[in-house]
C-alpha cells in the first residue's frame, strides 16, 4: 500500500477539522431555527397585544359558532307494525323476574347467612 505524504496528511486533517467546525455551526443554526418554544415566547413578549387579540377573536368564534346537531334517522315503514309487541314481551319478562326474585329471596338470604356464619368475626375485642 502506498503511504500518504506528510503534507497531504496535514491537509486532510485540516479539512476534516474545518468540516467538523462547519457542521457544528450548521447544526447550531438548525437548532436555533427549530426552537419553536423560544420563538413563541419571544413573539408573545414582543407582540402581546396581537396575541391577546387573536385569542379573544378565536374564543368568540368558538362561542358564537352554532353547535352541531345530531341527525336522527327514523324508519317509517316499521313504525306501525309490531312496535307494541317487543314492549309487551319486555314487560312480561320483568314481571316474571320480579316474581321469581320475591319467591327466591328467603332461600337466598338463608344461604348467604349460613355461609357468612362460618367465618370468624373480624372485630377485635377490647378488654374492659
CB 43 within 8 A of CB 51: yes
Query: What is the tally of structural domains in the chain?
Result: 2
User: Cβ(14)–Cβ(22) under 8 Å?
Assistant: no
Report d(CA 52, CA 45) in Å as an integer: 11
In a domain, 77, yes or no: no
What are the pLDDT digits (tens) for 45-91? Answer: 999 999 999 999 999 999 988 888 888 888 776 555 556 678 888 88
Contact 12, 4 (CB under 8 A): yes
24 falls within a domain: yes
In angstroms, the CA 25 to CA 33 distance is 12
Longest dimension (CA), the chain: 107
Do residues 56 and 94 both lie within one domain? no
Can you give the residue range of the structural domain that contains 93? 88-117
- pTM of the entire predicted model: 0.37
Give the mean pLDDT of the chain.
84
Question: In angstroms, rounded to a whole number, what is the distance separating the alpha carbons of residues 105 and 97?
Answer: 12
Q: Give the pLDDT score at 116.
A: 83
Residue where one domain finishes, among candidates 21, 46, 61: 61
- Please indicate, yes or no, if residue 55 is contained in any of the structural domains: yes
Residue 18 lies in a domain: yes
* Mean pLDDT value across residues 100-117: 88
Amino acid at each position: 500500500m502506498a503511504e500518504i505524504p506528510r503534507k497531504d496528511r496535514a491537509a486532510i486533517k485540516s479539512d476534516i477539522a474545518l468540516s467538523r467546525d462547519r457542521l457544528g455551526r450548521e447544526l447550531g443554526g438548525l437548532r436555533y431555527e427549530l426552537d419553536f418554544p423560544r420563538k413563541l415566547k419571544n413573539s408573545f413578549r414582543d407582540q402581546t397585544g396581537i396575541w391577546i387579540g387573536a385569542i379573544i377573536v378565536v374564543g368568540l368564534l368558538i362561542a358564537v359558532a352554532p353547535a352541531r346537531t345530531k341527525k336522527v334517522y327514523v324508519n317509517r315503514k316499521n313504525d306501525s307494525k309490531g312496535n307494541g309487541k317487543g314492549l309487551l314481551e319486555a314487560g312480561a319478562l320483568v314481571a316474571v323476574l320480579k316474581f321469581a326474585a320475591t319467591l327466591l329471596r328467603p332461600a337466598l338470604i338463608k344461604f348467604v347467612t349460613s355461609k357468612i356464619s362460618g367465618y370468624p368475626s373480624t372485630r377485635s375485642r377490647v378488654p374492659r
